[in-house]
Amino acid sequence: MLKYVGKRLLQIIPVLIIVAILIFVLMYFVPGDPVQIMLGDYHATEEQIQATRARLGLDKPFLVQLWDYLVGLTRLDFGASYIYNINVGQELMHRFPYTLRLALYSLVFVVVVGIPLGVLCAVQAGKTVDRVLMVVTLVLNSMPAFWLGLLLIILFAVKLNWLPTSGIHGWTSWIMPTIATSVGALAGVCRQTRSSMLEVIRSDFVVTARSKGLSERKITYGHALPNALIPIITVCGTRFGAMLGGSTVIEAIYTVPGIGQYMVNAINSRDYPVVRGSILYIAFSFSIIMLVVDLVYAFVDPRIRAQYVKVKKKAESEEEKTPEAA
């Protein structure tokens, strides 16, 4: 198992290197000159522009810039922001807790509400509760998160004046961003849970469980749900990865000072070190989440676990064919 984790971690490294190079090359060709944007409104002289270019290292040839950047990365140095001259690595560490908290709150909300609702739908399949919930989740699933975010602001901040509009001041500030981030995912997880439960609920082993005299509750949560979890985990994992990568749009709406907002602002101001650093960070955390998801699979399903562990029982399994007692 450990060996497998190690192997997967090593596999992430080349992916990150390619992402790093790719993003550097792409950003280099982005239309728009960062120096122009920085000095934008002032009537900067040619000398000022040249001086700024030299200070940022933008006057060097392309390959030299790329080399400097890659060498920096080996020391985990993402460079400094062009505009604020703050180290990108430090800024990311400072902003990460905001993004992480938003993602974690949303994930908890999605799991705690979405999965039981999906189970309820599957158990009540075809009945009123199921039909209503299926329509509601279909609508929620189609709702753009940023629009929902704006609607929440209108309702809870403007009309009712219950919650703060934007920024993070205390726990109430997290409510709207969490809801806006998670509603789509919640609807998706609910629908996924329903369909994978429906497949499992008709399996023979559920009939076996029923024939033992177990209660419906025990059958549903003890036998059916554990077997339906794999696709649900996939959906949760992907959604969580996306949230951790910065719920860009939501952070923009509620001005949460997280990674997503950092990156979007940086793209607009052509602040390349920030863009590169954010994207690398996001690629890294996304890959880690995907690895964790794979490990959760193994935790949930012994058949997947068996693929990771060396097949040491091979010899014993040969004996199965000749039972000891007859």
Partner 1 sequence: MSEHATPKEAFLDIRDLKVEYKLGKDTIYAVNGVSFQVEKGTTLGLVGETGAGKTTIAKAILRILPDHSLKMMDGVVKFDGEDILNMPDEQLRRIRGRRISMIFQDPMTALNPVMPVVDQIAEGIALHQNKSKQDARIAAIKMLEMVGISSDRAGEYPHQFSGGMKQRVVIAIALACNPDLLIADEPTTALDVTIQAQVLELIGNLRDELGTSMILITHDLGVVAGTCDNVAVVYAGEIIEYGTKEDIFDHPTHPYTIGLFGALPDLSKDVKRLSPIAGLPPDPSVEYTGSCPFAPRCPKATEACTKEKPVDIEITPGHLVRCHLAKEK
Partner 2 sequence: MKSRASDKPGSLAYVGKYLLHSPSAMVGLCFLVGIMILSFLTPFIFKYGFRELNIRAQYSTPTLEHPFGCDEVGRDIMVRVLYGAKYTISIGIFATAGGGLMGVILGAIAGYRGGLVDSFIMRFLDVFQSFPAILLAIAIAAVLGPGYWKVILACGITGIPGYARMMRANILTVRGSEYIEAAKSIGCKESRVVVKHVIPNAFSPMIVSLAMGVANAGLAASSLSFLGFGVVPPTPEWGSMLSTARTYILEHPHMVIFPGLFIMLTVLSFNLVGDAIRDALDPKLRD
Contact between 104 and partner 2 (CB under 8 A)? no
- For partner 1, the binding residues in 205-234 under the rule CB under 8 A are 205, 207-216, 223, 226-227
Residue 306 binds what, of partner 1, partner 2, none (CB under 5 to 8 Å, by partner type)?
partner 1
Question: Which segment (51-59, 134-142, 203-211, 237-245) binds partner 1 by CB under 8 A?
Answer: 203-211
The answer to whether 261 touches 324, Cβ cutoff 8 Å, is: no
- For partner 1, the binding residues in 106-125 under the rule CB under 8 A are 125
How far is the CA of 219 from the CAs of 94, 111, 211, 222, 323, in angstroms?
A: 46, 20, 10, 5, 31
Contact between 326 and partner 1 (CB under 8 A)? yes
Instruction: Name the minimum Å distance from CB 33 to partner 2.
Output: 13
Instruction: Name the minimum Å distance from CB 321 to partner 2.
Output: 27
Question: Which segment (60-68, 240-248, 253-261, 313-321) binds partner 1 by CB under 8 A?
Answer: 313-321
| DSSP output for 44-91 | --HHHHHHHHHHHTTTS-HHHHHHHHHHHHHTT---B-TTT--BHHHH
Contact between 15 and partner 2 (CB under 8 A)? yes
Cα 66 versus chain centre, distance: 29
Take residue 108 and report the two structure tokens written for it.
């908890």
Q: Write down the H helix ranges in 110-203.
A: 115-123, 128-141, 145-152, 172-201
The answer to whether 107 touches 240, Cβ cutoff 8 Å, is: yes
How far is the CA of 125 from the CAs of 56, 102, 120, 206, 229, in angstroms?
A: 62, 33, 8, 16, 18
Residue 10 binds what, of partner 2, partner 1, none (CB under 5 to 8 Å, by partner type)?
none
Report the interface residues with partner 2, using CB under 8 A: 14-16, 18-19, 22-23, 26-27, 29-32, 125-126, 138-139, 141-147, 150-151, 153-154, 158, 165, 195, 198, 241-242, 245-246, 248-249, 252-253, 263-264, 267-268, 275, 279, 282-283, 286-287
Report the interface residues with partner 1, using CB under 8 A: 125-126, 202-205, 207-216, 223, 226-227, 300-303, 306, 313, 317, 320-321, 323-326
